């Protein structure tokens, strides 16, 4: 990469690239205005008083940040929720680590702006829609006022772009370096056009996206599709070279990463921005293009923590592409790469969410690993303890379950508790969303589909596509517990149900030899074992059966996920849960994701993949699901073994596996890093749906990672 871009990347790791925030004075008479109008007016006043981003090296402009205090509870973007007073109140009362009934907790949400619309239509396209719908809703005061607020924002952003153009023209007038002066004038010219009007070049498309990113700084969606026609046009007509496009992309990613400044609590994490490449197109062709590859090459050329990137694999993805992406992952010290399979994901989106295939193929990854669509919010802000129903069955329904003569009788009692807990989880999810809807957002509306057409805030389900779900912590513990009960109590009749409950109530002290025997003989999930694999299918099918008749308050059918996000909910729920039949002691944390831990997956990597690939025939786990695989780092340095792993992952996807993210590390390295963090600051690990430096992770998360099984073959 060029010296300029390398220098900018290094600077972004050392300090905040953005200008210091300026605090405006708002007119107190604004309080007399309709809420949406006041919010729009104050947001633009805030933006227009900010200094223009300008360094010696940048070729993009318009970067700024929103801070809560200067906004005075005026809602900014719908990702960080700066100024969203009611959201902040809910988060204060219900966010980490404030659990409800050891069952649920309030969580964040993510978004994927529709940058394709901005690149192809510009903000003027949004203004045309606003004019049309203002006329349509002229007799609906609330909707009309909302559109007025969004219109103020759109017109104000055009003024902000013009201010950026003027600042660069002024800088060019006093610049003595001829090359830099030309760059400044070129950027000023671009700012006069985008994002006001459609982008006419690859450079303009990138500038339009980075400009608008500030107003919803989350995912950049599927940029290999959004920018493909501009890229191909410019390459074919000699307007830009491939190397020049790579340099523009590299700087683009630096600015995305820099939005989370050095020194921020999440500066070391990848999930502050996440996007996807490849995947099926509307014609069901594989969408990995030369631009997709160039995007990856540009990302690999810079040392940044973000953005995270997922390859959407399809049955038409060439093996060479998968191996190229895995090779990048193997050599990426920042651990920014993950892999998702379009086949089961599209099954979930079309059959459960009931989306047309033409819409489903547009999905992208956001945040830690949530699926969403350009122009849509992922409202999955409810993480839940799926093991609570098993605990209730064993500890509170003892009189009933000791009378069961078959596993099916026991399972029927368990299912009642599962259904009851799922209904309560969805009730909490809707209550959490009700708290979010009390805020009115006008800033992000022009980037989200349906908010203008419906004249409704994105916080109040204004988006035309509803998507969301729940995060199920402890799902593998649930599967293993059911497998144990069937194996030991009913099939082998090794112990009685009554004795099992007694042992669990004693936290295994009554018979620790039984626990040892379970570890030796238990038919745990992840070993290509017919009993545990069938139990996994039974659990996921049950989840689908129950949830298929339910809907979230936003109208969506819920999908189930297994990621925990930044906070170790899986560990904390475990800390609050008594001993369970999967050989857990009381207080032991659950594992995050759909893999296995503690050496329970003892038959190797291929067996684990086979179990994972067939665990979910319904596709209900098509939500925010992650699968962590730990592979011995020494083995991964061997090219022959690496090639074998690439083929195994391809086969895993062909069999139906949904997701995989890899860690190449030994348990000894992890333990050494815990013992002496200063010597292992370089050690990056995949956590849930994000990566971070191992030595800065909370102790609970470190503990869970250490307990994961490191696969040797």
pLDDT digits (tens, 9 = 90+) for 260-296: 988 888 989 988 899 999 999 999 999 999 999 999 9
Mean pLDDT, all residues of the chain: 95
Please check whether residue 359 lies inside any domain of the structure: no
Burial annotation 241-264 (CB, 10 A radius, 16+ → b, else e): eeeebbbbbbbbbbbbbbbbebee
713, pLDDT greater than 70: no
DSSP state of 32: G
Run of H or E including 382: strand 382-385
Alpha-carbon distance of 703 to 341, in angstroms, equals 29
User: Would you state the pLDDT for residue 149?
Assistant: 98
User: What pLDDT, on the 0 to 100 scale, is given for residue 386?
Assistant: 98
Answer yes or no: is 429 within a domain.
no
SS3 406: coil
Residues in contact with 35: Cβ distance below 8 Å, sequence separation at least 6, in sequence order: 145, 149, 440
Q: Closest by alpha carbon to 325, among 650, 628, 9?
A: 650
Residue 184 belongs to domain spanning: 120-215
Contacts for 28 with CB less than 8 Å, ≥ 6 apart: none
Burial class (CB in 10 A: 0-12, 13-18, 19+), 540: buried
* Within-domain flag for 168: yes
Long-range pairs for 683-686: beta carbons < 8 A, 24 or more residues apart: 684/333, 684/334, 684/335, 685/335, 686/335, 686/338, 686/628, 686/661, 686/662
CA distance 519 to 515: 7
- Of all residues in the chain, what percent carry a pLDDT higher than 70? 100
pLDDT exceeds cutoff 80 at 710: no
Nearest-CA neighbor of 593 among 618, 620, 567, 628?
628
Return the biggest CA–CA distance within the chain.
89
155 in a structural domain: yes
pLDDT of residue 534: 98
Question: Taking the model in full, what pTM does it have?
Answer: 0.96
Chain segment 149-166, per-residue pLDDT in tens:
999 999 999 999 999 999
Work out the pLDDT band at 712, boundaries 50, 70, 90: low
Does 361 map to a domain?
A: no
303, pLDDT greater than 90: yes
- Does the residue 548 lie in any domain? no
639, two tokens: 């090219």
Could you tell me which residues come within 8 angstroms of residue 589 by beta carbon, excluding any fewer than 6 positions away? 568, 570, 571, 572, 573, 574, 575, 700, 703, 704
**Rounded to an integer, what distance in angstroms lies between the CA atom of residue 594 and that of residue 564?**
12
Predicted confidence band of residue 245 (pLDDT cuts 50, 70, 90):
very high
Cis check for the bond before 67: say yes or no (omega within 30 of 0). Answer: no
In a domain, 400, yes or no: no
Task: Flag whether 638 is in a domain.
Answer: no
How many domains are contained in the chain? 1
pLDDT for res 293: 98
């Amino acid at each position: 990469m060029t010296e300029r871009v390398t220098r900018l990347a290094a600077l972004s790791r050392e300090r905040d690239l953005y200008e210091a925030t300026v605090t405006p004075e708002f007119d107190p008479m604004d309080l007399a205005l309709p809420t949406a109008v006041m919010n729009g007016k104050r947001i633009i006043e805030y933006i227009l008083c900010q200094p223009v981003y300008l360094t010696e090296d940048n070729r993009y402009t318009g970067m700024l940040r929103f801070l809560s205090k200067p906004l005075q509870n005026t809602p900014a973007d719908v990702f960080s929720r700066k100024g969203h007073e009611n959201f902040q109140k809910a988060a204060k009362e219900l966010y980490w680590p404030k659990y409800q009934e050891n069952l649920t907790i309030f969580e964040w949400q993510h978004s994927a702006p529709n940058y394709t619309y901005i690149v192809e239509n510009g903000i003027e396209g949004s203004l045309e829609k606003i004019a049309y719908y203002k006329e349509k809703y002229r007799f609906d005061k609330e909707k009309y006022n909302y559109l007025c607020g969004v219109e103020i924002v759109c017109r104000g952003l055009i003024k902000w772009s013009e201010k950026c153009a003027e600042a660069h023209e002024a800088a060019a007038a006093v610049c003595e370096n001829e090359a830099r002066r030309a760059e400044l004038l070129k950027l000023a010219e671009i700012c006069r056009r985008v994002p006001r009007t459609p982008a006419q070049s690859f450079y303009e498309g990138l500038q339009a996206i980075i400009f608008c990113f500030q107003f919803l700084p989350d995912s950049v969606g599927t940029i290999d599709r959004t920018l493909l026609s501009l890229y191909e046009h410019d390459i074919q007509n000699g307007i830009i070279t491939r190397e020049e496009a790579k340099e523009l992309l590299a700087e683009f990613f630096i600015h995305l990463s820099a939005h989370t400044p050095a020194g921020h609590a999440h500066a070391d994490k990848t999930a502050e921005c996440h996007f996807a490449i490849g995947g099926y197109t509307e014609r069901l062709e594989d969408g990995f293009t030369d631009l997709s590859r160039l995007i990856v090459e540009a990302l690999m050329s810079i040392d940044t923590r973000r953005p995270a990137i997922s390859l959407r694999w399809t049955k038409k993805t060439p093996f060479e592409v998968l191996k190229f992406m895995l090779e990048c992952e193997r050599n990426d010290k920042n651990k920014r790469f993950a892999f998702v399979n379009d086949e089961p994901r599209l099954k979930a989106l079309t059959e459960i969410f009931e989306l047309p295939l033409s819409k489903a193929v547009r999905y992208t990854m956001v945040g830690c690993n949530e699926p969403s669509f350009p122009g849509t919010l992922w409202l999955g802000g409810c993480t839940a303890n799926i093991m609570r129903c098993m605990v209730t069955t064993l500890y509170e329904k003892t009189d009933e379950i000791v009378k069961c003569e078959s596993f099916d009788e026991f399972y029927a009692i368990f299912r009642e508790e599962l259904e009851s807990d799922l209904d309560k989880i969805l009730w909490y999810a809707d209550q959490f969303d009700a708290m979010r809807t009390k805020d009115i957002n006008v800033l992000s509306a022009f980037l989200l589909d349906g908010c203008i057409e419906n004249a409704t805030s994105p916080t109040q389900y204004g988006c035309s596509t509803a998507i969301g779900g729940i995060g199920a912590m402890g799902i593998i513990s649930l599967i293993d517990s059911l497998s144990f009960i069937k194996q030991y109590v009913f099939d082998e009749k090794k112990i009685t149900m009554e004795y099992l409950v007694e042992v669990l109530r004693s936290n295994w002290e009554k018979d620790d030899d039984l626990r040892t025997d379970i570890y030796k003989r238990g038919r745990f999930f992840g070993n290509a074992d017919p009993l545990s694999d069938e139990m996994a299918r039974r659990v996921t099918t049950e989840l689908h059966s129950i949830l298929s008749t339910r809907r979230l308050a936003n109208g969506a059918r819920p999908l189930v996920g297994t990621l925990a996000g930044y906070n170790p909910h899986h560990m904390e729920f475990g800390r609050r849960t008594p001993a369970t039949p999967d050989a857990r002691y009381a207080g032991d944390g659950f594992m995050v994701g759909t893999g296995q831990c503690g050496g329970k997956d003892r038959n190797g990597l291929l067996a684990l993949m086979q179990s994972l690939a067939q665990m979910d025939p319904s596709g209900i786990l098509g939500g925010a699901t992650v699968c962590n695989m730990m592979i011995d780092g020494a083995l991964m340095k061997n090219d022959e073994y690496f090639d074998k792993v690439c083929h195994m992952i391809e086969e895993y996807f062909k069999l139906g596996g949904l997701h995989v993210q890899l860690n190449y590390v030994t348990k000894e390295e992890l333990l050494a890093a815990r013992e002496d963090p200063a010597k292992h600051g370089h050690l990056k690990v995949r956590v849930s749906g994000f990566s971070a430096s191992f030595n800065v992770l909370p102790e609970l998360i470190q503990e869970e990672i250490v307990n994961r099984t490191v696969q040797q073959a």
